[in-house]
Amino acid sequence: MILHAGDINAEATLAELQQVAPVEAVRGDHDHAFALPLSRELIVDGKRIVLVHGNRSRWLEEPSTLLWTLSLGYFTPHGGLPRTLKRRFPQADAIVFGHTHRAYVETINGVLLFNPGGVHQWNPTTVKRRLMQNPGWFEWCWLQVARHLRRFQTPSVGILDVSSGGITPSVISLDL
């Protein structure tokens, strides 16, 4: 089973993933055209797994994104997101989330909080590629700063090995 924690951007992505295995997906903050739920609860080998993107109010998100961009990647936004999700889904055995595009693995009071990172990461190469696609003026302005990023994440995916005995997470860095 493939779990996709949002920011899918194209229905073709889900169709391609469906060729590999059954897909469970949720809507991310960039998936406005999709009829996907904001969260899903799945039972896998008796374990309750919550799948959620993790975006919060724009009043929290937009200033964090601005600070991350202006700091050229040195500021790490979304620090409280895992604990917020833990409070939101108290019955979960594991919470799989996206949004931050940063790999994260932590167990809090017996609940696994897992972010596999992201296949797409903003870095000077991806910013340059996006600029060549003639984005709108607001995104173009943001990309003018983002093209100078000095600190960025490595693309990654995650695997959850789920059995009745437990859930074992792993993050796999991709060399793209």
What band does 113 get if pLDDT is binned at 50, 70 and 90?
A: very high
In this predicted structure, which of 57-66, 97-106, 137-146, 153-162 has the lowest mean pLDDT? 57-66
**Structural domain of residue 14, as residue ranges?**
2-173
Rounded CA separation 65/73 (Å): 10
| 172 against 29, higher pLDDT | 172
Rounded CA separation 97/61 (Å): 15
pLDDT in tens, 65-84: 788 888 887 877 777 889 99
What band does 34 get if pLDDT is binned at 50, 70 and 90?
A: confident
What domain count does the chain have?
1
In this predicted structure, which of 55-69, 74-88, 117-131, 147-161 has the lowest mean pLDDT? 55-69
Q: Is the pLDDT of residue 58 over 80?
A: no
What lies within 8 Å, CB to CB, of 63 at 6+ separation is: none
- Angle between helix 124-131 and helix 137-146 axes, rounded to 10 deg: 150
Of 30-44, 71-85, 106-120, highest mean pLDDT: 106-120
> CATH no. for residue 31?
3.60.21
For residue 29, count CB atoms less than 10 angstroms from its CB and return exposed for 0-12, middle for 13-18, buried for 19 or more.
Answer: middle
What is residue 62's predicted lDDT score, i.e. its pLDDT? 78
- Mean pLDDT, residues 95-117 taken together: 94
What lies within 8 Å, CB to CB, of 27 at 6+ separation is: 6, 34, 36, 37, 38, 53
Sign (positive/negative) of CA torsion 26, 31, 33, 38? positive
What is residue 9's predicted lDDT score, i.e. its pLDDT? 81
Rounded CA separation 104/97 (Å): 9
Q: Is the pLDDT of residue 176 over 70?
A: no
Of 46, 19, 50, 48, which is closest to residue 37 (Cα–Cα)? Answer: 50
| 7 against 74, higher pLDDT | 7
- The pTM for the full model equals 0.87
User: What is the chain's mean pLDDT, rounded?
Assistant: 90
- Mean pLDDT, residues 32-43 taken together: 90
